[in-house]
Amino acid sequence: MRNDLIIKEINFYGDNLVAVKDKNTDKIYTGVSYICKGVGLSKSQKDTQVQNVQTDLVLKKGCLKFEAGVFDSNNETIAIDIDYLPLWLAKINITPSMKTGQLEVVERLIEYQLKAKDALAEVFLGKKPTCLEDILIQQLQEMKDMRLQIEKASQETAAVKQEVEDIREVVEIRPSQNWRSETNSLITKICYKLKDYQKPKDEIYKALQERASCDLKVRLKNMRGRLALEGATKTKIDNLNYLDVIAEDKKLIEIYTAIAKEMAIKYKIA
């Protein structure tokens, strides 16, 4: 999507029209197909008009093709500068058959010829209040908009304060005799949020080994061998894990705790 475009919709006699303003030129465009659909033209009539605005000696000067994603999410769109809109609509011939078989189309075409340009321009330029009632209505609307903006800003501020408080609580966790339960609580919350109960654990162990330049697998193997020589039971030996290895080394505890806090802040875990 181009950043130099402002896209707005307008309800015109029950039809949804799309208008696009180019911020570089201040020109306003509307989709030719949207207008044809609003008027009530058939597909063949619409195709004819799309062709006409691209080939007419004058109209093609105000014709522009927009990429997919501007007017239509999937297709390119032929649009016309609204300054050329009345001229284009005036060039659509109201045939005798239309007067008898498409009377509603004729009536809507006349409405579009007379009012569509101003309605589309008004979306961007705004309507100037013409009486006291209009001024009061506009002021009330501006007050309502301001109140909504204040409420939104207040909510965003509260959310930021909560996030800062959550980060403060995480940062305050220090390596202590409770490091195992505190870091386990954080990692469990991360796993729950990501709906993955293995990947975060693998991530923290990998980071630990890289920072501490150690091999947890080798250390765990050595620990099991040492306990076996000391006569520990097979169950105790089999139940050993990486956390038991970390618990034996104060440096590893500090690094592991730091990584757990970093991950909690990254995933916005309180």
The whole-number pLDDT of residue 206 equals 93
pLDDT of residue 129: 47
Total domain count, the chain: 2
Q: Give the strand order in the sheet containing 15-22.
A: 5-12, 15-22, 28-31, 77-81, 63-66
- Domain end marker among 100, 127, 154: 127
* Residue 65 lies inside a defined structural domain of this protein: yes
One domain, residues 45 and 119: yes
142 domain-assigned? no
| pLDDT in the model for residue 176 | 63
Smallest CA-to-CA distance from 217 within 244, 187, 235 is with 244
Q: Whole-angstrom Cα distance, residue 174 to residue 245?
A: 19
Q: pTM of the entire structure?
A: 0.44
Q: What is the pLDDT of residue 154?
A: 67
Task: State how far the Cα of 103 lies from the Cα of 97, in Å rounded to an integer.
Answer: 9
- Going by C-alpha positions, the residue among 15, 47, 11 that lies closest to residue 34 is 15
The tokens 């008898």 sit on which residue?
A: 100
Specify if 247 maps to a domain.
Answer: yes
Tell me the β-bridge partners of 21. 6, 28
Residue whose pair of structure tokens reads 């870091």 in the numeric block: 183
User: Is 45 exposed, middle or buried (CB count within 10 Å of its CB: 0-12, 13-18, 19+)?
Assistant: middle
Q: In terms of C-beta density within 10 A (0-12 exposed, 13-18 middle, 19 or more buried), how is residue 203 classed?
A: middle
- 52, part of any domain: yes
- Which of 94, 127, 160 finishes a domain? 127
Torsion of CA 228, 236, 184, 204, to 10 degrees: 30
* Residue 121 sits in the same domain as residue 58: yes
CA 245 to CA 261: how far, in whole Å? 20
Arithmetic mean of pLDDT, 77-83: 92
Q: How many CA atoms lie within 13 A of 61 on its CB side?
A: 5
- 94 or 133, higher pLDDT: 94
Rg, the chain, Cα only: 34
Q: Is residue 42 part of a domain?
A: yes
What is the arithmetic mean of pLDDT over 28-53? 90
CATH number of the CATH domain containing 85: 3.10.260
Q: Is 139 domain-assigned?
A: no
Determine the pLDDT at residue 184: 87
Q: Over the stretch 154-176, which tens digit does the pLDDT of each residue have? A: 676 665 565 555 555 555 556 56
For 17, the 3-state DSSP assignment is strand
CA 33/CA 51 separation, integer angstroms: 11
Report yes or no on 248 lying in a domain: yes
Shared domain check, 183 and 118: no
201 within some domain? yes
- Residues counted in the chain: 270
Q: Clarify whether residues 180 and 114 are in a common domain.
A: no
Say if residue 121 is in the same domain as residue 53: yes
* pLDDT > 70 in the chain, percent: 82
Q: Residue 233 pLDDT more than 90?
A: yes
For the chain, the average pLDDT equals: 82
Distance of alpha carbon 26 from alpha carbon 28, whole angstroms: 7
pLDDT tens readout for residues 174-197 = 656 688 888 888 889 888 888 888
9 and 115 fall within a common domain: yes
Q: What pLDDT score was predicted for residue 170?
A: 55
CB atoms within 10 A of CB 163: 13
* Residue ranges making up the domain that contains 46: 5-127
Among candidate residues 64, 99, 127, the one where a domain is terminated: 127
